[in-house]
A and B are shown apart, each in its own frame.
Chain A
Amino acid sequence: MTVSGLAGSDETTLVAQARQSDATAFSELVRRYENKIFRLALHITQNREDAEDVLQETFLKAYEHLDQFQGNSKFYTWIVRIGVNQALMKLRRRKTDKTVSMDEQFDTGEDTLVREIAAWDEDPEERFSRDELGRILDAAIQGLEPLYRSVFVLRDIEDLSTEETAQALDLSIPAVKSRLLRARLQLREKLTRHFKRKGDNAFAYL
């Protein structure tokens, strides 16, 4: 990507210029968000090839439909929504036998998700190299159901608000909240295996 003089430009201005078919302005928007879109595509699809496709499809679609961007949400939220839809579509195609439904029902027995309780060190991640840590975190996320994964990635990795996540995934706010809680508790459970303080034994809960 060429370095443009637009790096410090305000997003609304860039979007307005891009709408006037200003290619440099759109390239600057791509440059700002491509890493985030690639990361979320990797997390959701768990497949490098799919993530590369999602990255490309997302920005092509965004460019094509730029006139449909209303400007009442942030451009980033809008583009994340396109990216998530592309990523979920890939997943659906891969798992033809198992549909990924956005409205599936689930029980709210969050308490059943707590099986192991053991304290962690203050900075448990410091026990591992960056590579090891990356593998542990990726493997834990990979074990989540796609929809829990998507909610967690948007809320806790990409830092979207609950409302923005609901918008991006077409979910209600309570649905985002309960999925986020389950995702967090499931990840906590998986990470406890690696992060629990040495010498501590898990004790039964309740």
Chain B
Amino acid sequence: MLTCKDFLRELSDYLDESLGVEARTQLEQHIAACPNCWVIADTTKKTIRVYKGMDPYPIPPDVEARLMQALERKMAAKQPK
């Protein structure tokens, strides 16, 4: 029988779906019987989901312009003769 500690140790692999069938089944049985671990698994899964859904950070136009200028200078210096 898995303990809650065992469950917690495997949580990341479980959420990443990188466990074998047997280990996965054991964890699923544990979650079904343990409301606390069910909540931990569910809220950790949602934590990952909200971060994945985060808006991208657009690069401000002046920062982009500086980057391009610096690159152009570098590229010009490296052009083949």
Residue pair B12, A26 in contact (C-beta under 8 Å) = no
Interface residues of B: mostly helix, strand, loop or mixed? helix
Contact of B59 with A by CB under 8 A: yes
Among residues 49 to 68 in chain A, which have CB atoms less than 8 Å away from a CB atom of chain B? 52, 55-56, 59-60, 63-64
Chain A interface size, as a band, is 35 or more
Within 8 A of B (CB), among A174-206: 177, 180-181, 184-185, 187-188, 191-192, 195, 203, 205-206
B71 within 8 A of A: yes
Inter-chain contact B46/A124, CB cutoff 8 Å: yes
User: Cβ of B75: which chain A residues have Cβ within 8 Å of it?
Assistant: 21, 23, 26, 63
Whether a CB of chain B sits under 8 angstroms from the CB of A35 is: yes
The answer to whether residues A191 and B74 also contact, given A21-B80, A59-B67, A111-B5 and a CB cut-off of 8 A, is no
Q: Does residue A102 face the partner (Cβ distance < 8 Å to B)?
A: no
In the assembled complex, which residues on chain B have CB atoms less than 8 Å from the CB atom of A35? 56-59
Which A residues form the contact surface with B (CB < 8 A)? 1, 21, 23, 26-27, 30, 34-35, 38-39, 42, 52, 55-56, 59-60, 63-64, 110-111, 114, 117-120, 124-125, 130, 133-134, 137, 141, 152, 156-157, 159, 162, 177, 180-181, 184-185, 187-188, 191-192, 195, 203, 205-206
Please name 27 pairs of A and B residues whose Cβ atoms are closer than 8 Å in the assembled complex, sorted by A: A21-B78, A35-B57, A38-B57, A39-B57, A52-B66, A55-B63, A63-B74, A111-B4, A114-B40, A120-B46, A156-B52, A157-B51, A162-B16, A162-B18, A177-B12, A181-B9, A181-B11, A184-B11, A185-B8, A185-B40, A187-B47, A191-B50, A192-B43, A195-B46, A203-B36, A205-B4, A206-B4
Shortest 6 CB-CB distances between A and B: which pairs?
A181-B12, A23-B75, A188-B47, A188-B44, A39-B57, A125-B50
Could you list which residues of chain B lie within 8 angstroms of chain A, going by C-beta atoms? 4-5, 8-9, 11-13, 15-16, 18, 36, 39-40, 42-44, 46-48, 50-59, 63-64, 66-68, 70-72, 74-75, 78-80
